[in-house]
Amino acid sequence: KNEEERAHYDWVCYVAMFICIFGLIPLPFAGYWLMKEVYAFRQQMGITLMGGIMAWLFIIQAVMIGLLFFAANSYLHNGMARVKGSHRYMKYCKYMILLLICCFTMWMTPHTIVMTPAELKVMGGAQHPIVGHFGVMSAKNTAVNLMITTTILCFLLYQKANKKITVPWATVGNCWISAIFVGAAVNIIFLGVYGYFLPANVRVGLSVPQVTTTLTTLFAGTAINISMFKDSESYGDIQWGTQSKVGTYAIFLLAISFTWLMGLMGYIRSAVRLFWHVTEVVRDNSVDAYTLTIGEAGKMLSFNTLFVWTQFVVVFWVGSLTGKKVAEKAPDAVPVPAQQQQ
């Protein structure tokens, strides 16, 4: 309603955004770890998830994760507009968005999906002769690690947007950061391509050096970037409260996508048991032992997301009722004691 409140909530979104980014970066790694444990326990469960009746749910999951990365980068790009001196790095934003689009397309490409016999006949098999090559884990690991690396680069540029680096080794530091990111991209792509020439059981192990490369880029790049801020000069204060509408939409998209994705993965984790209470131990023989269709699952997840955010709105609204302070009106005149009036 006023500039002070807009500036305050803009700053709140800024803090929440960086918390989300640090929570987003390890999210794919945690997913790979979970699937590794699932395959180690029972391969059939992994096949059911990745190539069976739940394959389309994992495609939806890939789309949601892509939305998270797009929302995070969109917020950072639009947030640069309120930072003086950010014009130096705005020219790189379009290339980062292009790279995200390419990686996102590869990330959401399925390997095999459930199809009718007629569809199988038209395509010539369960795997597309061209697009199917982008559905294997070598391509997907490469895509998601490049998306994370791009987000890290965007974060570092946002960090130094309003700072004029004055340390003597500024040029060397920038060269080191550039070399780290270029080397990381080359290594991630090389390992992804190399994985196509290895058996599937060996190819899985390549995700470890790719993840190590990404994490090294995160920690080394951030450490060098922060070290360069010593005795730096500021181009000006951040203009809080001037966030664009696109940046505001991005922060809401990030929050909604996170909530929806949490519900989706919770449903997948539960539904992979199929008709078992405890997998292969206690069977569910009730009439309700069935798996929801994709449409039914989507409706339930959307309802749960709406219900959660409605609760948040109600809680904050109730809190605002007790938090409002009424300004006390100063008396028009100071009362004079009776002794002084005589």
Domain membership of residue 89 (yes or no) is yes
Which is nearest to 150 in space by CA: 191, 195, 93?
93
How many domains does the chain contain in total?
1
Domain membership of residue 286 (yes or no) is no
The CA distances from residue 151 to 74, 116, 157, 267, 319, in Å, are: 10, 39, 10, 28, 35
**CA 236/CA 163 separation, integer angstroms:** 8
Domain membership of residue 231 (yes or no) is yes
Domain membership of residue 68 (yes or no) is yes
pLDDT over 90 (residue 185): yes
pLDDT over 80 (residue 194): yes
- 8 Å CB contact between 27 and 65: yes
Token representation of residue 173: 């530091």
User: Strand 163-164 relative to strand 282-283: parallel, antiparallel, unpaired?
Assistant: unpaired
pLDDT over 90 (residue 190): yes
Domain membership of residue 304 (yes or no) is no
More confident residue, 77 or 338: 77
**CA 221/CA 19 separation, integer angstroms:** 18
What per-residue confidence (pLDDT) applies to 21?
75
Helices within 25-128 (DSSP H only): 27-41, 43-51, 55-79, 93-107, 117-123
- 8 Å CB contact between 126 and 120: yes
Mapping DSSP to helix (H, G, I), strand (E, B) and coil, where does residue 282 land?
Answer: strand
Burial call 159-177: b when 16+ CB within 10 Å, e when fewer: bbbbbebeeeeeeebeebb
Place of tokens 């060996």: 202
Place of tokens 């360069």: 228
Token representation of residue 304: 């749960």
Least confident of 8-17, 147-156, 297-306, 329-338: 329-338
More confident residue, 314 or 62: 314
Instruction: Dump pLDDT digits (tens) for 268-288.
Output: 888 888 888 887 788 888 887
Q: Greatest CA separation found in the chain?
A: 110
pLDDT tier, 67 (very low <50, low <70, confident <90, very high otherwise): confident
pLDDT tier, 146 (very low <50, low <70, confident <90, very high otherwise): very high
Query: What is the C-alpha end-to-end distance of the chain, expressed in Å?
Result: 51
Domain membership of residue 210 (yes or no) is yes
Instruction: Name the residue range of residue 231's domain.
Output: 3-115+123-242
SS3 per-residue string spanning 258-277: HHHHHHHHHHHHHHCCCCEE
Domain membership of residue 268 (yes or no) is no
pLDDT over 70 (residue 337): no
Domain membership of residue 273 (yes or no) is no
pLDDT tier, 338 (very low <50, low <70, confident <90, very high otherwise): low
